[in-house]
Structure 1
């Protein structure tokens, strides 16, 4: 069984595209081969700045022979119909077979297709993959019609067997497939002939090319960590940068340099951002002081002077970048000290947040008012919450954030402290964007929580009010992230807030009244149900990692107070744990059986069986035992639900499992006596009502 090696060798592929491109190459080729009848045992895809590589092991030598029988028109059908059928099946009319199907004779076409050699199929599949490759951006060059992310220079395509290798016959816009690749552009230029994947990987390694991006990333990280450790420092972890840098080099060489003393007093976030964004440098910090004092850069080659010239050039460029940052920092500090950030706050009136939602100044006013309203509910000082909200967006018009937008909030914290505002206010300015994702840190300081909640709720209600909601995978205003932020803030801080019923969202009504800029929109009650459903959908995704099923969540969403997310999740977790027990599973079946019998009887009789069950009409011990259990556990369940002690309520429900099972095993509900029948149906109604007080178990599957 042959192995297949493909390499598409080109000019530099942007680092951000390499991982997806290697996956796309594997998908296009393997799907094409399997569709043509060629299976394989294993596939590996790799990428470097200059090449995409795919290695497949254990391919079939040829596709299998196939035989297909296709049913056609009846014998005696018009000639045109018969000839059209034969032509579509690819057979001559005289080769059609007439068969008796029991309903008359019908023509059948027997289509036999012999298998084809694997090389022939590989050539077709690879050409199709190259011509239809889904690059985010591509280009043409020369006079050909081929499009690729950068000019494509070589196609290596070989099938390797025990007795040697075969070059696949393929020519594409003048590029003829071969068994030749090239080494490192500077350290080992020139052609390299290979016979298979192992030979390819080994020869490229000797030619200073590591084809596996994970190996390059691991090499960079290990070398950088060792360099930092040797100097008594530590690398600031940055996985995204590591992945990007691994896509910029074929032979990583790590070098560590110093940051000029003149810039060491810049905030560490400024140093790190400047080096990461402009230079692709890793930051190195002193573990004792937390200051960033050095950097690690990754070169794409070894040099005779061990990188001294490279480091010297990098340090000169870095010094120029940091000089700009220091200039912005000093200018911003002056505004913070002398103007208490007010010039920036005033400038927010010139920054549009959204054409239909006003400026950043308008938005800041809304957030400040809402943060003040929320303060008492989260244990924050209302004045501090309002003050922090008014400062939260101020740094958007600072020079540093204009240069580095990703430092929003972070710089505001420094400036707020420099202006003399309380630490709680400054911290809230830094944290009001958080959490930014499912793994981001959630604020817990009360002032920070108030401002962060207000910022996200204002965004959600605003965009719902103007009907700019996410559609499909599109979410240009990050509203899914905002909803998840609200969820995590409420749950982690165990906040008991009603989002809609006289709660948080209703307090955003100030936004929808006439304002100075003429912002008018619908009332919260008009868009509230749809927004709440959106938040509930985000909650389902959030709880999925806990192993909680969507139907369990749906059962709790049907209960009152479902806009109190903390209460809702408390109920969901208790129900989820209960249904994982044997008692829970059996009780669910008992409820469903009772509910089904009741629903059928109520539909048939045209009445609702919801009261009047009396133990004096019980005829069996099982009935009397069930009455006694309901009398004993019912008050406990009702009290537990009032106290929101959902675990206690579930325990009391579990105590009903045995008497309910015994009742259904030994008692016929539809008795001959109508009095007994109605009494038993009303008894089932008590079971249903008690269960539905805990959750809508009818929505739970199983």
Structure 2
């Protein structure tokens, strides 16, 4: 067994592309190895700013010999057929074939043995094909070369069993030939490094101030940062995204601490941390009580002879200029009230077919007021918050840092001494932004957040800008999940179809081009599509909780359930029911009854959903089933009215014994045509009775 070592050495790879590129390289190479019949023990990918590396251990030195059999024509077939078979098998004559009796006649069989090729001969093509197929999000051409790559290539290490493979990556005008030479840190090492295996490669890189393993670099940054902060009695503000990004910017991380001028500490903490993070990739530090401290952490890619003093001074100087801009925006923005900014939103296009941001605000005001009435929130405060929620979009601070939208609106509202409920709703109306984000629970915040998301979904569905495949440019899936969380986590009793209809009419009345697809009296198709979309998103939202998607489909399929809280109560009761012994058996009986009825209806050309004639019921099992169905249907209906879905399922569970007895003792397709139809109606009644609580045909199993 032998080892393959591959390193692709280049100019700095963008940090955001590194992890994906390493995984893609590993996937492409290992897939090609497997298709070539080359098994291996393990494969590991590594990445630094200047190199992609892959080590595959436990490869055989040659491919395994392959024995293939190919069936030919029957013995005695025309010569033309025999000749075609010999040619396709690469054989000269029938003497190289075997004759076998297959039980359906005697046929020619070609047995072809292929000697396994040397692995060293297979690997160059595998590497080059994988490099050519690597799916960079963005790539470039340089000099006069025609080949694209993420950044200019400088070298390729390609070693198998310690020997350099024969191959070169054609750039179109030049080529990078496989070698065993690389380089260490750009500034902390000099000269070339010659390697013969992965262990030596990794060790020599470390000696040349390169930590190859990205996980080790990440851990080193975190450890150094935590230690520096702890010395000052502080803690590093958690930011996994920034930690991942900075890990991709350095090969030899050295963490240093700098200071923030006290004059900037009056600026909101979110502004300071965003400015440091976005522009400079600095980590913020906090006191034990979570208050932002006047310090920052910078990750350098060099060991400085002065202990980093000049690096710190330079970064403090740059940060001072950045924060001066932020302080200026902060002071200037306070001179204009939020209410005075609302008019400027009319000049910002929301979408060509959906009007301006100002028009969206007008729709949000109306819808937030209606929703506030539905959920018991203060209507006036909800309307006020909806009116001001987008106002900070035209502030200088949000213009510089778009990620602070909403957050700055809250600060400006607080400075204007607006009600706390309004200020909080301004900040919270974008929430929740994802599955890990907090969900608003204050009534006014809920009303405004729901209004904004429902308006967005309704509008884009109306103009047929729905998500397709993996594409969702307007984040509509996230908006739907946000609506679902707001409703479920706050246990809101809303009729979703009515809310969507109100949102649709808001577009017609308060902005949105009629050419975009809005018809005042035809929102039904849009709402139907949206309800299907919500059903799909609900399945996603509940998947992690172990709720089966088919149970959600079974309840949604009733077509009359748009109260998500009530729907989930049904789903929970249905889940408990089908997981019980009685429920599982009754589900089997339901499918059996449905199949029989469907087959016979197709044969007869009529529906068998009619009334059951009690006079035609002869056997005890028939009579008992009819009585049980009538009783279960009545009990289930009453329980559903009371929203007692557990009792509704319990009523259905009592059907198990009479249904089982019916199938055991009664012949449905008997000779008497009237009795046959009556018994088919009994089976149809089983289906209709169970379908009062859910469409059991949607349930798997």
Q: TM-score, normalised by structure 2?
A: 0.91
Q: Deviations over 1:49-101 (max 9, x none)?
A: 0111111111122112234455678989798x988876665556898869799
- Contact map agreement 2:354 2:513 (CA 8 A) in 1: no
1:207-226 correspondence runs (5 A): 207-226=208-227
Q: For 2:476 and 2:542, locate their aligned partners in 1 and report how far apart those are by CA, in whole Å.
A: 18
Match for residue 460 of structure 1?
A: 457
Is residue 2:62 matched to residue 1:65?
no
In structure 2, stretches of 5+ residues that fail to align are: none
Change (3 A) 1:555 1:615: farther
Change (3 A) 1:16 1:515: closer
Measured after TM superposition, the shift of residue 201 of structure 1 is 2.1
Is residue 2:593 matched to residue 1:594?
yes
Is residue 2:361 matched to residue 1:360?
no
Is residue 2:686 matched to residue 1:687?
yes
- Contact map agreement 2:632 2:689 (CA 8 A) in 1: no
Q: Deviations over 1:195-236 (max 9, x none)?
A: 322222233223322111122112212221222222222211
Q: For 1:56 and 1:666, locate their aligned partners in 2 and report how far apart those are by CA, in whole Å.
A: 66
Match for residue 638 of structure 1?
A: 637
Measured after TM superposition, the shift of residue 628 of structure 1 is 5.6
Measured after TM superposition, the shift of residue 294 of structure 1 is 1.8
Measured after TM superposition, the shift of residue 436 of structure 1 is 1.3
SS at match of 2:538: helix
Is residue 2:494 matched to residue 1:493?
no
Is residue 2:490 matched to residue 1:506?
no
In structure 1, stretches of 5+ residues that fail to align are: none
Change (3 A) 1:598 1:181: same
Q: Deviations over 1:570-611 (max 9, x none)?
A: 212221232122222111112222333333444555452443
Is residue 2:36 matched to residue 1:36?
yes
1:646-685 correspondence runs (5 A): 646-670=645-669, 680-685=679-684
1:274-285 correspondence runs (5 A): 274-285=275-286
Is residue 2:165 matched to residue 1:168?
yes
Measured after TM superposition, the shift of residue 518 of structure 1 is 7.1
1:66-105 correspondence runs (5 A): 66-70=66-70
1:276-675 correspondence runs (5 A): 276-288=277-289, 290-335=291-336, 340-500=337-497, 502-513=498-509, 521-522=518-519, 523-604=522-603, 606=606, 608-612=608-612, 614=614, 617=617, 619-620=619-620, 622-623=621-622, 626=625, 629-630=628-629, 633-670=632-669
SS at match of 2:218: helix
Q: Deviations over 1:234-268 (max 9, x none)?
A: 21111111110000011111112221101111111
- Contact map agreement 2:535 2:553 (CA 8 A) in 1: no
Measured after TM superposition, the shift of residue 389 of structure 1 is 0.7
Match for residue 159 of structure 1?
A: 160
Measured after TM superposition, the shift of residue 657 of structure 1 is 2.3
- Contact map agreement 1:617 1:676 (CA 8 A) in 2: yes
Measured after TM superposition, the shift of residue 190 of structure 1 is 2.6
SS at match of 2:488: helix
SS at match of 2:201: helix
Q: TM-score, normalised by structure 1?
A: 0.91
Change (3 A) 1:85 1:668: closer
Q: For 1:126 and 1:182, locate their aligned partners in 2 and report how far apart those are by CA, in whole Å.
A: 21
SS at match of 2:335: helix
SS at match of 1:421: coil
Measured after TM superposition, the shift of residue 307 of structure 1 is 1.7
Q: For 2:425 and 2:166, locate their aligned partners in 1 and report how far apart those are by CA, in whole Å.
A: 65
SS at match of 2:256: strand
- Contact map agreement 1:348 1:361 (CA 8 A) in 2: yes
Deviates more, 1:202-211 or 1:114-123: 202-211
SS at match of 1:8: strand
- Contact map agreement 2:367 2:502 (CA 8 A) in 1: no
Measured after TM superposition, the shift of residue 106 of structure 1 is 8.5
- Contact map agreement 1:434 1:442 (CA 8 A) in 2: yes
Q: For 1:625 and 1:381, locate their aligned partners in 2 and report how far apart those are by CA, in whole Å.
A: 56
Deviates more, 1:675-684 or 1:4-13: 675-684
Match for residue 14 of structure 1?
A: 14
SS at match of 1:694: coil
Is residue 2:190 matched to residue 1:189?
yes
Change (3 A) 1:63 1:513: same
Q: For 1:640 and 1:452, locate their aligned partners in 2 and report how far apart those are by CA, in whole Å.
A: 34
- Contact map agreement 1:4 1:158 (CA 8 A) in 2: yes
- Contact map agreement 1:367 1:458 (CA 8 A) in 2: yes
Q: For 1:682 and 1:144, locate their aligned partners in 2 and report how far apart those are by CA, in whole Å.
A: 77
Q: For 1:86 and 1:147, locate their aligned partners in 2 and report how far apart those are by CA, in whole Å.
A: 44
Aligned length, in residue pairs = 691
- Contact map agreement 1:358 1:519 (CA 8 A) in 2: no
SS at match of 1:226: helix
- Contact map agreement 1:598 1:609 (CA 8 A) in 2: no
Measured after TM superposition, the shift of residue 193 of structure 1 is 2.7
Q: For 2:200 and 2:145, locate their aligned partners in 1 and report how far apart those are by CA, in whole Å.
A: 32
Q: For 1:24 and 1:216, locate their aligned partners in 2 and report how far apart those are by CA, in whole Å.
A: 21
Q: For 2:95 and 2:410, locate their aligned partners in 1 and report how far apart those are by CA, in whole Å.
A: 84
Change (3 A) 1:482 1:218: same
Change (3 A) 1:84 1:343: farther
1:256-271 correspondence runs (5 A): 256-271=257-272
Q: For 1:542 and 1:181, locate their aligned partners in 2 and report how far apart those are by CA, in whole Å.
A: 48
Deviates more, 1:207-216 or 1:315-324: 207-216
Measured after TM superposition, the shift of residue 419 of structure 1 is 1.8
